[in-house]
Amino acid sequence: TPLLEMRKITRRFGNFYALKGVDLTVYPGEVHALMGENGAGKSTLMKILAGAYSASSGEILIDGKAYTLKGPKEALAAGITLIYQEINLAPNLTVAENIFLGSEITRGGMVKRRQMADEAQQVIDRLGAQFSANDLVNRLSIAEQQQVEIARALHRNSRILVMDEPTAALSNRETEQLFALIKRLRGEGMAIIYISHRMAEVYELSDRVSVLRDGEYVGSLTRENLNASELVRMMVGRPLSDLFN
Ligand code: ADP
Ligand code: MG
Ligand code: MG
């Protein structure tokens, strides 16, 4: 059964429909790529999933149960973490403080510093990351900061991890490390929604690809049926050969 179903999601900004009844079905333990040209509605759809935007209409089901994601807190509690293109950490706090940021409230009390660092270090070690829980975030590379965001998601027991073009600022080596980590998380049953324009990345990582075009859901391809020219046709709405005429 699907972990996540988004049904007939519509989002209007004034008179403009950024999403026009989009469907998205995601299974546990899959990397689900989300593709589409700039402006297709990918980020808007994921912001709705993460509770950062509300939908004008539509339904979200997690484990078959209807959810009304009223805000980011509800989405986090539902097991959804969105990692934006821009890093979303407090730069002057430690890794441990960032991992715990916001979770004191849900635990009903402050967590002791020492306990916080120990717990954070366990998650960091699980990722195989090279920094320490007590390091300041502003001393870390972009790739490491991204790992802190993933560590925070694991610490919150997120089951759906959304990454919006995560390799844009990474070196080849850092990209390889991120891919290894994504594959490991997939093996642990996490669902990863992966927004990318890069065909090679989508080929390497994805079990399923869904395509949006002009705010509409065009369709999905599974790994076995992946076909670059078909994907391009889905994204731009006409055959690849037309682009050269
Ligand atoms: P993508 O991520 O696929 O590039 P977006 O979801 O960012 O696309 O944007 C889809 C469309 O919605 C674009 O035309 C964009 O200009 C518009 N849009 C996104 N956010 C807003 C907003 N807050 N206000 C008005 N228009 C928006
Ligand atoms: Mg964009
Ligand atoms: Mg976007």
Residue 219: partners with Cβ closer than 8 Å, 6 or more residues away: 210, 211, 234
> Residue 81: what pLDDT?
94
Distance 38 CA to ligand 1 centre (A): 9
Q: Is there a contact between 107 and 190 (Cβ–Cβ < 8 Å)?
A: no
Residue 18 in contact with ligand 1 by CB distance below 6 A: yes
Give counts: helices (H), strands (E), the chain: 9, 10
Residue 11 Cβ contacting ligand 1 at under 6 Å: no
Please indicate whether residue 13, judged by its CB atom, sits closer than 6 Å to ligand 1.
yes
Which distant-in-sequence residues (6+ apart) come within 8 Å of 66 by Cβ? 59, 60
| pLDDT above 80 for 213 | yes
At the fourth CATH level, the homologous superfamily of domain 1-76+190-245 is P-loop containing nucleotide triphosphate hydrolases (3.40.50.300)
Confidence of residue 239 (pLDDT cuts 50, 70, 90): confident
40 lines ligand 1 (CB under 6 A): yes
How many A from CA of 216 to the centre of ligand 3?
A: 15
Give the residue whose CA is nearest to atom 23 of ligand 1: 13
Look over the chain and give the mean of its residue pLDDT values, rounded to a whole number: 92
Is pLDDT at 108 greater than 60 in this prediction? no
DSSP state of 139: G
Q: Where are the domains of the chain?
A: 1-76+190-245
Q: Furthest-apart CA pair in the chain: how many Å? A: 65
pLDDT band at 212 (very low <50, low <70, confident <90, very high): very high
Ligand 3 midpoint to CA 122 (Å)? 32
Instruction: Report pLDDT digits (tens) over 48-84.
Output: 999 999 999 999 999 999 998 888 889 999 999 999 8
d(CA 85, CA 70): 23
Quickly state the pLDDT bin for 224 (edges 50, 70, 90): very high
pLDDT at position 112, please?
78
- Looking at residue 245, its pLDDT comes to 63
**Who wins on pLDDT, 115 or 162?**
162
How far is it, in rounded angstroms, from Cα 81 to Cα 83?
Answer: 7
Centroid of ligand 1 to alpha carbon of 41 (angstroms): 6
Mean pLDDT, residues 23-30: 98
What band does 111 get if pLDDT is binned at 50, 70 and 90?
Answer: low
